[in-house]
Chains A and B, each alone.
Chain A
Amino acid sequence: MIDLSFLAHLRKPRRRSGLRNRIIVNSVVILLVLVIATSYTAFASFDLARSVELLFRNSISMEELRSTLRDTQENLTGYLSAKNSESLKEFIRTSTILSGMTSRLNRENKVDDVFLLEKDLAFLLDGYLASAEGAVQAKRGRDVAQYVSLYEDARRNASLIEFLSARMDTIHLDQSLKGFSSYKANISPALVSNGVLLLVAFLLSIALIGRYSYTITEPLARLSVAAEAIGRGEYDHPLPPYEREDEIRTLHDAFVNMQDSIQRAFAELTRKAELERSLMEERMRVLTYQHRLKDAELLALQTQINPHFLYNTLAAGWQLALTEGNEKTAEFLEKLAAFIRYALKPSTRFVLVSEEIECVRQYIWLLKLRFGERFRFRLEAQDEALGYETPALVLQPLVENAIVHGLKDLEEGGDVIVSARLDGETVRLSVSDSGRGMEKDSIALALAAADPEDTTPQHGIGLHNVVRRVALATGGLGRVEIESELGHGTRVTIILQAGKAV
């Protein structure tokens, strides 16, 4: 398995350090310029010091050479005149020193006056040493003419060496003076230019400091103003864009992100508060519905007869009819007792659609016993809809309404259709009749009962009750629709959110 953990650092946000780099680079450049200028001036000063030292050293060397030459000549004279061994020893010592000095002199044909003078001096010294040593040898060999001649030659050489070395001193001084004059002629403006350099560097530093101070503080001041505005609750305070790629850009971006986050958070809080307020209103409405429902139940209880007495009486009648062999009566009492038992239970409960359909079927049986074949009933219940819940006793009052109000003026005939079907997420229960239909005002009056605040007196109690109970029981989620055409009939549909019984 390939370890890709090393790529993790590549995803790290890039650190912006442009501002710091620019400040460092600019400072380094200024310092570098000053260091170069100072170094150059220091080198020039060092050269000057070295030149002065060399000038003195040359003079001293030349003086040492002359002094040694004089000593050598003196020792030579001393030896030749007195054949003094001490003088010979000293001659050998000083001539050795002189030879050492001579060996350090230039002997090449350099195209330079001083080096050529050195060459002249070197050859003169060679000649002097040769003559002097020759004179000493001739003295030892007692060759008087020879040592006198060589001594004279050495003396002449010494004289020329003195002359030349003095001239060399003069030439050295002359050249040095020329060099120093030229040095001075150039170094004076150099010192002025150094001053200008320092002044310009100072001004440049001031300008750079000013610029970077503005560059740094101006966006920070804008951020500060924006932060104060946010502190006052102006979360949408505009912040001008910042284009440079540096540390302040990082700060700016972070601030803008924070501003966006705060704005989003407050929007979310506002939305939640609004939602909670809506929920609270909804709860209040439900509580109102429940309160009204309780009132209605209390009223119903007050008006109910004792259901157990009625049910027991009917049961006793059913047994009596069976005892007397009157099966039709027995069946009638049985269905009536079942219907009454269903009807007398609390109307606020929820039942299955199948139970409600069964109740309507028993009620129709009872109606057929009463009215014979005067009305035609049809039950159309989808199996899919039967398992869903509905407020109890909502279809029977509508069937009763259809018979009592819709079809009552018909001399004969009249159709009543009861249906239950599943329509997507809703259960639709409807009762249709082919009666006289309803006025629009009546429809509006009936539907107004859905409003818990509605206290308008009703003529059709059954329809009014159904509309009110559907609204109360479902917390306003269920509703009743009424379609009617005068002379052609009415269809009342209860529309409920599909909810399975537990």
Chain B
Amino acid sequence: MLPIVVFAIALTGALAVNISLVSRSRNALASTILRNPATVRTARFHVVAILPDTADPFYTHLIEGLRGESEQQNAALQIFYYPSTAIGEGGSTSEEVSRWFEIALRSKADGILLFQPKGMDVARFAQEADSAHIPFVPLAMDAPQAWTRSGVTGDSVSQGKEAGTLVLGLLGSAARIGIILSSDTSLGYAFNEEPFYRGVEETLKDRPGAVLVAAVREEESILGGEDACARMLTEHPDINAILCIDAKATIGAAQVIIDRGNVGQIVIIGSDEDSEVNRLIEKGVVHASIVRNAAAMGQSGVALAIGQRIGLRSPEKISVGYHVIPTRGDGP
């Protein structure tokens, strides 16, 4: 009798596993190719976001914010990606971005959000959107000068101030600072005109002795942060603090510090967060990270577009803040 009971239980279990696996297989098809339009939710609004195709955690958080707010606003979010490498140099307009924008315009979306590509002038897009009576909300790390009416941006000056303050708090007048800036030169800033640089520079005015030794731009490549950091430390071996503009630069700088055996000797103040940045902070390699609120940028952008669509809001400029993830270490 016992073997029969065991076999019966095994049979039932195998059947359940089988049904579960086959159901998951069927669901995989049903949720993609075989999905039924009747089962897909219909939203009130159609919002198009045109974003660079990159794995930078900033954009990951930005998309999370866009999706979250779209759901809140009962909007169907459509994201068009443009490759970050396809940007024309010298302020020319990307053909692909223009194409996506035109498609969004002609498909009568209820709002268009565009993360300003490097070297791209969004003023023309704003005019076209206005003509089509479609709310247009540009997104950017820092507000371009051309923006006159509406947009959601970060605040790199404040970010730079925060980074400088953190370093001075640790090293005081002995601080020898190096900065790794973004590879994006679309705004046409020189090193000393970059908002982040200016923010850092401003904090040093009140602390004689502390010196901003060097500033470099990270490379476009995946290992661009490492290259820039290694180059800077080779040229300026007296640097004891590195301030990074984004996560890629942070991770690259940390890797260089680890490889050179300078952990604990050189303070790294990073930017943004992802699992790797968090791990480096946990390990004490990175002292702190100034996290730009990308999700809030996405949320604000969608809310502003829908608000304009239904006539509750007017075009406005919004600057999202940041927060700091502190380390437990005390620095060198």
Contact = CB atoms under 8 A, between A and B. Distances in A.
Interface of A: 30, 33, 36-37, 40-41, 43-44, 47-48, 50-51, 54-55, 106, 108-113, 115-117, 119-120, 122-124, 127, 156-157, 160, 163-164, 175-176, 178-180, 182-183, 185-187, 189-190, 193-194, 196-197, 200-201, 203-204, 207-208, 211
Contacts of A111: 40-43, 76-77
A211 B35 CA distance: 48
Interface string B1-22: 1011001101110110111011
Contacts of B275: none
Which 9 A-B pairs rank lowest in CB-CB distance, beginning with the nearest? A182-B28, A179-B32, A190-B21, A204-B7, A120-B107, A186-B25, A123-B107, A51-B33, A197-B14
Nearest to A187: B25
Interface centre among A40, A124, A175 (most CB of B within 10 A): A40
A69 to B, nearest CB: 15
A110 B40 contact: yes
Interface of B: 1, 3-4, 7-8, 10-12, 14-15, 17-19, 21-26, 28-35, 37, 40-46, 75-79, 99, 102-104, 106-108, 110
6 contacts: A109-B46, A111-B40, A111-B41, A122-B107, A156-B102, A179-B29
A109 B33 contact: no
Contacts of A194: 18
A122 B106 CA distance: 10
Contacts of B18: 37, 40-41, 190, 193-194, 197
B25 A183 contact: yes
B17 A193 contact: yes
B24 A186 contact: yes
Given A193-B17, A200-B11, A160 B99 contact: yes
Contact of A123 (B23, B28, B42, B108): B108
Given A37-B18, A119-B46, A55 B24 contact: no
Contact of A207 (B7, B99, B108, B110): B7
A116 B8 contact: no
B8 to A, nearest CB: 7
Contact of A109 (B11, B21, B42, B106): B42
Contact of B33 (A44, A176, A186): A176
Contacts of B106: 120, 123-124, 127, 157, 160
A189 B19 contact: no
A1 to B, nearest CB: 55
A54 B35 CA distance: 11
Given A37-B18, A44-B22, A116-B78, A160 B102 contact: yes
Contacts of B23: 40
A301 B32 CA distance: 136
Given A109-B42, A116-B46, A211 B11 contact: no
B115 to A, nearest CB: 18
A197 to B, nearest CB: 4
A426 to B, nearest CB: 73
A180 to B, nearest CB: 8
Contacts of B104: 120
Contacts of A156: 102
B32 A190 contact: no
B181 to A, nearest CB: 34
Contact of A36 (B15, B17, B35, B40): B15
Given A44-B25, A186-B22, A193-B21, A115 B11 contact: no
B34 A50 contact: yes
A43 B18 CA distance: 13
Nearest to A46: B26
A175 B41 contact: no
B107 A112 contact: no
Given A123-B107, A183-B29, A208-B4, A110 B34 contact: no
Nearest to B108: A123
Contacts of A43: 22, 26
A41 B17 CA distance: 12
B23 to A, nearest CB: 8
Nearest to A50: B34
B21 A186 contact: yes
Nearest to B17: A193
Given A37-B18, A164-B103, A207-B7, A112 B40 contact: yes
A152 to B, nearest CB: 13
A122 B76 CA distance: 16
